[in-house]
Structure 1
């Protein structure tokens, strides 16, 4: 069984999508359509912009969504048995299996990104990857802190990303270092997948009700529970909840593997998820 996986923020690069644009008339049509819907030249930012601009949440999410979905449109024999997307990638995955259209998905991503960017600019938050400690140890330390700090991304065994208020982030990271953990501060200015994103979740939940969802044609393993979902109402509920909940990527891949996935195909720019998946799968073999 084939599983197609879709990345989130972190896989972007300047020039992404240029090869698709130059070699496919359908890709060119969809890139132009994206610019028309958004009302600005997103393709110029992707092809010829600067990383300083591209790394802003309101542009990053659009760029990765556009690239990932266009790639599925021009792939030969794109017929997944199951799909999953990491954070933003869940929207790309849902578009690829026709839960909503490319155009509707683009509007969803735009609203999601703007709502999240707004929080990033008003709250001093951040994220850090913790290496070398057990998940339950990280969870307990985060719970003990008096501020807002939570597990955000369960990426693979031995690596968990935490998210929250910057002061809390510094405190718990200092403690993790003392007990043997390694810390990598992520180059983001927001506390994604934490309670800090609650205002963004509320805004997004209102907009999402304007979009018509269909039942999916194959299971999507959603971030909030790592379980296969096909019913449109459940997909929508999980997508809204995702903004303030941790991404259970490790658990999703384990479940997909246990349910028959033999190959995992990374559809986004770069191969970040392929590297993560190898670590997950090697841990369960």
Structure 2
């Protein structure tokens, strides 16, 4: 496996440079990337592109998304049923700004929720269907959050295999939910079990434990009850064949078809996010550039830590969008 990724412990030998040809992975962030005013610059400076996406989203969902994404406070944006459509529409509005300037990624991938944006960018989902599914996904997850006090915590400084061992020894539900980077994982489960695992991880030498701004325990077995219900929603939507290669966060493999995408979105509810492997798969496919599209800079930060010799950019504000346009349009 010839991966030019620090995670693999291999030398940074420039193997992602395919004879000087640049290849771009567009990365779409997931829940937790929301922030106050995250779309104000988009709507102000790009009314014909980003503004049109927000207008369509508001018509589709009946939510005041422009107000939420420009003026909503942190508490309002934290609610799962609000955060998920808000992040999705902000990411897709940003993508539309870039696309209108001529940007066309070679591959796309999304971190958890971001996979809906990636599939929309790849032509698998129509915008309206993506919005409807994400709104429903958020509502279902909010039900779990109301019924089961859950939590997610990012863990730095302990290897994933050791985190798995520690979680297995804790009473209650706590599981490894995100393999984000060699030095960062996320655990998810009931609040008490996550707290207990956190104490053990501190004793194990964890460098940092950070509670995530999410409203439910994603990517663990507590979500299993939702799979059948969400599968029914997925079954009512048309999934087209991808026009761009999509790397699944569930398998770190290419999404082979529309039917494959539908099944992976069902499995995604309980499956861990394999982001280390996603970045490795992109490097294997010759990616030289990693562009995070949407609010926040989490994914670009992870890419910077894992990939050597790559160009990594984010698009969370007007200055960074302008830089991305200059680089890729």
Looking at structure 2, the residues matched to 187 and 21 of structure 1 have their Cα atoms a distance apart, in angstroms, of 25
For residue 270 of structure 1, report the CA deviation from its aligned partner. Answer: 2.5
For residue 126 of structure 1, report the CA deviation from its aligned partner. Answer: 0.6
**Partner SS for 2:167:** helix
The partner residue of 2:193 within 168, 176, 196 is 168
| 1:261 match | 287
**Partner SS for 2:232:** helix
* Pairing of 1:134-145 with structure 2 (within 5 A): 134-145=159-170
| 1:66 match | 89
* Structure 1 pair 116–283 and aligned structure 2 pair: CA distance change class (3 A): farther
Looking at structure 1, the residues matched to 215 and 132 of structure 2 have their Cα atoms a distance apart, in angstroms, of 23
| 1:129 match | 154
Pick which of 9-18 and 60-69 moved more: 9-18
Asked if residue 83 in structure 1 is aligned to residue 105 in structure 2, the reply is: no
- Give structure 2 stretches of 5+ with no counterpart: 1-22, 311-329
| 2:314 match | none
The partner residue of 2:41 within 19, 22, 26 is 19
Looking at structure 1, the residues matched to 77 and 203 of structure 2 have their Cα atoms a distance apart, in angstroms, of 35
Looking at structure 2, the residues matched to 11 and 185 of structure 1 have their Cα atoms a distance apart, in angstroms, of 13
For residue 282 of structure 1, report the CA deviation from its aligned partner. Answer: 4.4
Per residue, is there more helix in 1 or in 2?
1
For residue 184 of structure 1, report the CA deviation from its aligned partner. Answer: 2.0
Asked if residue 45 in structure 1 is aligned to residue 71 in structure 2, the reply is: no
* Structure 1 pair 282–26 and aligned structure 2 pair: CA distance change class (3 A): closer
* Structure 1 pair 185–15 and aligned structure 2 pair: CA distance change class (3 A): closer
Asked if residue 3 in structure 1 is aligned to residue 25 in structure 2, the reply is: yes
Looking at structure 2, the residues matched to 272 and 206 of structure 1 have their Cα atoms a distance apart, in angstroms, of 32
For residue 130 of structure 1, report the CA deviation from its aligned partner. Answer: 1.3
Looking at structure 2, the residues matched to 213 and 133 of structure 1 have their Cα atoms a distance apart, in angstroms, of 39
Aligned residues of 2:78 and 2:215 also touching (Cα < 8 A) = no
| 2:259 match | 233
Pick which of 223-232 and 259-268 moved more: 223-232
**Partner SS for 1:227:** coil
Looking at structure 2, the residues matched to 178 and 190 of structure 1 have their Cα atoms a distance apart, in angstroms, of 26
For residue 188 of structure 1, report the CA deviation from its aligned partner. Answer: 3.0
Looking at structure 2, the residues matched to 137 and 27 of structure 1 have their Cα atoms a distance apart, in angstroms, of 44
For residue 71 of structure 1, report the CA deviation from its aligned partner. Answer: 1.6
Asked if residue 150 in structure 1 is aligned to residue 175 in structure 2, the reply is: yes
TM-score (norm: length of structure 1): 0.95
1:36-95 deviation digits (Å, cap 9, x = unpaired) = 111131211111121110111111111110011122222122322111000100000111
Aligned residues of 2:122 and 2:245 also touching (Cα < 8 A) = no
For residue 33 of structure 1, report the CA deviation from its aligned partner. Answer: 1.6
Looking at structure 1, the residues matched to 308 and 164 of structure 2 have their Cα atoms a distance apart, in angstroms, of 24
**Partner SS for 1:216:** coil
| 2:57 match | 34
Pick which of 72-81 and 154-163 moved more: 72-81
> Once superposed, what is the RMSD of the aligned Cα atoms?
1.6
Looking at structure 1, the residues matched to 51 and 239 of structure 2 have their Cα atoms a distance apart, in angstroms, of 26
* Structure 1 pair 74–188 and aligned structure 2 pair: CA distance change class (3 A): closer
Aligned residues of 1:127 and 1:185 also touching (Cα < 8 A) = yes
For residue 206 of structure 1, report the CA deviation from its aligned partner. Answer: 0.9
Aligned residues of 2:167 and 2:175 also touching (Cα < 8 A) = yes
Pick which of 110-119 and 30-39 moved more: 30-39
Aligned residues of 1:218 and 1:230 also touching (Cα < 8 A) = no
Aligned residues of 1:139 and 1:150 also touching (Cα < 8 A) = yes
